[in-house]
Structure formats: structure tokens, C-alpha cells
Amino acid sequence: MTIKHISQSGDPVSGAPLHGETNPRQRILVVEDDAAIRRLNTEILTYSGYHVDAAEDGAVAWDALQQNNYDLMVTDNDMPKVTGVELIQKVQAARMPLPVIMATGILPEFTCYGSPQPMLTLLKPYTLHELLATVKEVLGAARDSLEEISPVPNWQIHPLADRSWV
């Protein structure tokens, strides 16, 4: 399993491989301008079995969101170029069904009332256990809301008994 960091140019920068359970269907974008926090969050999520991409600011993250599908975005707010709140507003304006965790030291004046995606705030400093628990909670809420909105049809395929119309 490899950590994929996305640079300003949009090119992936691979990190060291980590071992853990893989869950290729759950892809997370970590957006954090502090390199140490970005790396720590990315490594713990990767080790926990998620496919993780990392972006150093909101502008790089927006580019990644245009190119990839994610199940969750974990973002800081206070970042250069595009803040976390501005990034979330862009996601909402584009009608991307993306759950969000705002991991920040100061609560931004922002609400996502009427937004189809779940959003939780994780106040810094947080423990790795709190990060993982919040990720699981948001991914679970997103999965539950998608099941409520569009349940999987229970289609049954029956062979044609009468093919006289052929």
C-alpha cells in the first residue's frame, strides 16, 4: 500500500509503503498545509486500510477532486490559496456528494445546512484514535444516507418462458 501525495504541479509523490488491511473502495483526500500533520494523518489512515491521497492546500485539493472520486475529504481550514471553508463551498456548488471532516484548531463560521453530505468538525489537537473514529462515523453516515436515497434494486432475471414473439 502506498501513500500518494499530490504536489502543487498535480503530480503524485509516493510515500513509503505501509501495511494494513486494504479497503480499495474507500478513498480519502487529506488536505492539510502542515506537512507533519498531513503525513501523520495520511499514514494512520493508510495503515488502517484506506486509500489516501494528500494535498498541501485547498487549490491542489480542488484539482485532485476534479480528477478523482473520493469517499471522504479530511480538510484543515486555515490554508493558503483556498481555505477549507472555500473548498467545501466549491464542492457543494459542484454538487459533489462528498462527506467532509473539518479538522481545524478554530471553528470556522460555516454551516452546511441543506447539504446532502455529512460534515463533522474535529478540533485540533486530536488523537489518532479520534481521527479514526470520526472517519468511520462519517463514512458510515454517508453510506447510510446513500442507502436511504437510492436503495439497491432487487431485480430478478427470469428466462423468457414464451419466445413466440422472436
Question: Smallest Cα–Cα separation from 140: which of 71, 88, 92?
Answer: 71
Give the mean pLDDT of 92-118: 75
Give the pTM.
0.71
Rounded to the nearest 10°, the torsion over CA 70, 72, 75, 80 is 20
Distance CA 32, CA 58 (A): 8
Environment class of 84 (CB within 10 Å of its CB; exposed 0-12, middle 13-18, buried 19+): buried
Distance CA 55, CA 29 (A): 7
Q: Is 135 helix (H, G, I), strand (E, B) or coil?
A: helix
More confident residue, 104 or 113: 104
Does the pLDDT at position 149 exceed 80?
no
Domains and CATH numbers, the chain: 4-147 (3.40.50.2300)
More confident residue, 155 or 142: 142
Give the mean pLDDT of 32-39: 97
Does the pLDDT at position 158 exceed 50?
no
Question: Smallest Cα–Cα separation from 73: which of 30, 122, 39, 10?
Answer: 30
